[in-house]
Structure 1
């Protein structure tokens, strides 16, 4: 028969659904977060030379364009005076060609630099996400984190080229154009500035709304990813429950919200853009009327009016560029804010500390818990209430107890996925937090209860923690985990893809892959959390014997519910309601501990399994 006893508090249990301390999902950046432009400058700094070159080319293009109205003015004057204009026509042609070539080159250089900024931001964020503390991941939606690492950095490209660079070059060209217009006629310049001033007021009102709508739109994209990831991650369960319509409605609701927010952002962007276009047209008509009157009155000549009108048309470029820059800055600011929120999540150290390993590799480790208390959050009840026990080097120690007793969380504390809220955990007599984290985990082989397998080949999964292992040692691990027969059957052997989350493997095969992966690390401490729960009797018996063999040279800790595994342990620790109830051998505990005797009699599988 099967037993209801499990690992106690694996991630699916009600006692392990929240993280430690006060960590929360990405919601708002810390109060000392720098403004978006300062963050962007940090990403830009390594590429500043390339961006400067692109900006210079853009300014040169603009300067060539500014010269065209003056050449046109001279052309009209020469035509009026019946002078030759071949040279001026050649000059205008040259200016147009230079403008086009430099514009194309400058656009490419700027876009290349902007994509480099996106690359840097994305690499930085993905590196941070892969090092997040487990407690931070517990409070986050994986789909939303993926969106922050994929979609949000993409918006930095436009923020770089159209916002920061565009605002700078557009501003300079705007000033230069206004100076050239002032040289031609101050009165017409005043008319033009009056119209542009009204546009600036509209943009000032609209700009904050663009940023708010864009951030909400990006957040809704993250919600789409989170909702879809939840459904696809349990698609078999969804289909078996006939829940496709409900999940479909949830995903569609998220996509509809994204559509609404993007339409809202598009509305405000359209208002700002069209306000700029309208102001240019109004300025042109006003200048045409006032300028025509000034030509009729003899204050200016027709060539000056034509040149000024050309500058009004030319003014459309820097004004539109400036408006786009403001819009893209607000769009990019929303993305930067979301990226910074993700960066604010607590992560583990990136580099290994200088602390040496407490003992040579291969030597079995000892483990001691001293009055360890732990809770997943300040608002949640304690999981452990002063857990104390000692596991000497070498041998097998089994943890048993009712569901929710806190057994699997003990392994998470040893791996430092979480830190205890009180008490001490010692490995080789040294407090675990004084270890180098990478050195600690390198000394541990860990087989999780659900034995996750990553997308990729079987070889990739086996060598995940020991990439340099090959040859006889790899084949020995395959034989030990009874995977050699599977490898022989697979069409591409070790290089056969296992599918998303190992869907091409059975549950037992995934467990055997996890066991082989752990053994290949040659661990000093082996943690097995229900490592044989999905194996058939033959494979379970074989691997049980293997674990017993490994325990002669390594410290092995096992969370198990099968009596056949427990009775092989050198010591058994009975955990109940977050406390160590008893420690002893199977025979001792059957005699001396009522809970263990009940579990052995009614909940463990019989010794004949």
Structure 2
């Protein structure tokens, strides 16, 4: 991904401003090209302003019996030159518009990927995608041609009015009356276009969110025969988007109709009044024709003004939605990523940690305290919902503790630069997600500079050799969206290999062996214990075979540390631990390649934010 444009990045860091001013700030880095494109467009418009006057000279030459070849050639030259200049100006502005969109998209991509996990939890990813794609597209024309056309059309309109005044002040007053009426009507219509556009874009975001939800659980939807219900929800969202779009189209059509109605009415009135003036001898025929040509010429600046004002309302609606992303809380990566050098294992200490996902939700942790220092294996056990996975989220600083401290090597994780903190940690999530792309890209995500020898070693360690040999292109084979072309156990081994390839000082494994069969679980357990000889390894465990190998076991219950000790100690003195083992919540041995269903997600069911 390209680096975000620093100037645009700085704009989005600033406090919210008026949408019109923010729109100009997006366009300002390209002001030179805007100036060139605007100047070319203006010159093209000036040639159009000259054409009615040259037509008057042609008519006067015809009436006076003078040669007309010179005036006609001159008129033809002006027409051709104006067309070429106008086309060039349009190209420059369109190209600049694409550059404006590129800058904003680069910045938005950087901000979206840097969102705090808590911010993403309460948002709809489909709506965020809509802001990155559809809303930024709306900026393309309004941030360039829209701004320049407002200026150019205004100047040309004023210039045309001045020339009209020279030809006939009386007819000019009639024309100005019509233009003033249009302006008053536009003052009522244009704000409605802006509101309708913002609502239409929001409805597109809702539809994208619904589709993203379906694709995120596609097999579940099909297995539940829920296609009809999901299609009905999508259809309802599509109809709502259609209604909003029709509203925008209606107001936009009304704006265009009003402008054209004013010009056409002016033409008919000017034709009648001007014809009477010609009949009375107070105005020449050539002057009336020139005036009418000017009136037709002004249709373009007036239409352009209406179009630009409409685009401006559309663009301001997009700016408001884009700025809402700019106001979301971002992570500060801090120091640049560094490859963790071979060093002593990391030390982890939680002291009186309390945590809730949202101020309105109940506490997940109630004063959790424990230490995991030096090399060795620490197991977190407890009933579902006791807060085991949340411990990992606090160590990784996906969330910040509500109170208390989470320390790594004696330093509060909030005082670590994020990239420096996470470069020390290898993390294997419970559902072992993989990304669309090649197997190599998934393995090297956390260690892009890993050597081929390191990669081969970790593939052997994670028992991925058979997978690499089976795939048609080996490491370069795509594994599909969410890794659909490989099994759940293989996805889990990919996630483990990815974490090990980073050579972390702290390895966090959330039920990392849950989808492995007995043979592979035993092999990965050996890998885990081997890593624990040199690394601080913390696992969320349900299986007795994992727990009995741990130097220390932390028993969590309802967000509190109930007991800490070895397997033998806890069996002897802690009833809950003894019941967990006896009740098979800590399974004695894996029997199939399937994940247990009792591990909680990072968010409790009550936290369903939109």
TM-score tier, shorter chain, comes to over 0.9
Contact residue 333 and residue 419 of structure 2 kept, 8 A: no
Shift of 1:31: 12
Q: Does 1:499 align with 2:499?
A: no
| Aligned partner (choices 34, 48, 58) of residue 75 of structure 1 | 58
Query: Unaligned stretches of 5+ in structure 2?
Result: 1-11, 592-610
| Cα offsets for 1:527-552 (capped at 9, x unmatched) | 00011100011001100011000000
| Aligned partner (choices 401, 421, 424) of residue 440 of structure 1 | 421
Q: Does 1:167 align with 2:175?
A: no
Shift of 1:312: 0.2
Q: Distance in 2 between matches of 1:51 and 1:162?
A: 8
Q: Distance in 1 between matches of 2:474 and 2:85?
A: 55
Q: Which residue of 2 aligns with 1:534?
A: 515
C-alpha RMSD of the superposition: 1.6
Q: Does 1:384 align with 2:365?
A: yes
Contact residue 361 and residue 443 of structure 1 kept, 8 A: no
Q: Which residue of 2 aligns with 1:318?
A: 301
Contact residue 379 and residue 547 of structure 2 kept, 8 A: yes
Query: Unaligned stretches of 5+ in structure 1?
Result: 1-28
| Cα offsets for 1:380-408 (capped at 9, x unmatched) | 00000000111112111000000000000
For residues 153-232 of structure 1, what are the structure 2 equivalents within 5 Å?
153-232=136-215
Shift of 1:162: 4.1
Contact residue 381 and residue 542 of structure 2 kept, 8 A: yes
Contact residue 278 and residue 284 of structure 2 kept, 8 A: yes
Shift of 1:427: 0.6
- Change beyond 3 A, Cα 1:350–1:365: closer
Q: Distance in 2 between matches of 1:208 and 1:423?
A: 50
Q: Distance in 2 between matches of 1:455 and 1:387?
A: 37
| Aligned partner (choices 416, 429, 450) of residue 410 of structure 2 | 429
Q: Distance in 2 between matches of 1:350 and 1:121?
A: 20
- Change beyond 3 A, Cα 1:113–1:272: same
Q: Distance in 1 between matches of 2:196 and 2:333?
A: 35
- Secondary structure of 1:202 counterpart: helix
Give the number of aligned pairs: 579
Contact residue 333 and residue 418 of structure 2 kept, 8 A: no
| Aligned partner (choices 586, 592, 608) of residue 567 of structure 2 | 586
| Aligned partner (choices 40, 46, 50) of residue 63 of structure 1 | 46
Q: Does 1:484 align with 2:446?
A: no
Q: Which residue of 1 aligns with 2:389?
A: 408
Shift of 1:308: 0.6
| Aligned partner (choices 244, 247, 250) of residue 233 of structure 2 | 250
Shift of 1:608: 8.6
| Cα offsets for 1:148-195 (capped at 9, x unmatched) | 111110000121244212111111111111111112111111110001
Shift of 1:353: 7.3
Shift of 1:607: 5.6
Q: Does 1:600 align with 2:581?
A: yes
| Cα offsets for 1:112-149 (capped at 9, x unmatched) | 00011111111111110000000000000111111111
Compare 201-210 and 55-64 and name the one that shifted more. 201-210
The structure with higher relative contact order (CA 8 Å, sep 6+) is: 1
Contact residue 142 and residue 229 of structure 1 kept, 8 A: yes
Q: Which residue of 2 aligns with 1:266?
A: 249
Q: Which residue of 2 aligns with 1:24?
A: none
Q: Does 1:515 align with 2:496?
A: yes
Q: Which residue of 2 aligns with 1:11?
A: none
Q: Which residue of 2 aligns with 1:13?
A: none
Q: Does 1:456 align with 2:431?
A: no
Q: Distance in 2 between matches of 1:253 and 1:149?
A: 23
Contact residue 424 and residue 505 of structure 2 kept, 8 A: yes
Q: Distance in 1 between matches of 2:67 and 2:495?
A: 86
Q: Distance in 1 between matches of 2:473 and 2:121?
A: 36
Contact residue 133 and residue 348 of structure 1 kept, 8 A: yes
| Aligned partner (choices 512, 521, 524) of residue 543 of structure 1 | 524
Shift of 1:36: 1.7
Any runs of at least 4 consecutive aligned residues in structure 1 with deviations exceeding 4 A, and if so which? 29-32
Shift of 1:325: 0.8
Shift of 1:363: 2.2
- Secondary structure of 1:420 counterpart: coil
TM-score (norm 1): 0.93
- Change beyond 3 A, Cα 1:30–1:216: farther
Q: Which residue of 1 aligns with 2:6?
A: none
Q: Does 1:470 align with 2:441?
A: no
Compare 151-160 and 555-564 and name the one that shifted more. 151-160
Contact residue 333 and residue 417 of structure 2 kept, 8 A: no
- Change beyond 3 A, Cα 1:466–1:608: closer
Q: Distance in 2 between matches of 1:257 and 1:607?
A: 53
Q: Distance in 2 between matches of 1:178 and 1:307?
A: 13
- Change beyond 3 A, Cα 1:408–1:268: same
| Cα offsets for 1:556-609 (capped at 9, x unmatched) | 000010000111111000000000010000000000111001111122222697
TM-score (norm 2): 0.93
Shift of 1:302: 1.0
Q: Distance in 2 between matches of 1:597 and 1:305?
A: 103
Q: Distance in 2 between matches of 1:435 and 1:69?
A: 71
| Aligned partner (choices 378, 383, 397) of residue 397 of structure 1 | 378
Q: Distance in 1 between matches of 2:532 and 2:576?
A: 26
Contact residue 518 and residue 589 of structure 2 kept, 8 A: no
| Aligned partner (choices 309, 326, 350) of residue 292 of structure 2 | 309
Q: Which residue of 2 aligns with 1:48?
A: 31
| Cα offsets for 1:82-120 (capped at 9, x unmatched) | 111111011000001001111111111100000111111
Q: Distance in 2 between matches of 1:352 and 1:311?
A: 63
Q: Distance in 2 between matches of 1:79 and 1:471?
A: 86
Contact residue 191 and residue 283 of structure 1 kept, 8 A: yes
Q: Distance in 1 between matches of 2:388 and 2:149?
A: 58
Q: Distance in 2 between matches of 1:304 and 1:579?
A: 92
Q: Distance in 2 between matches of 1:529 and 1:180?
A: 78
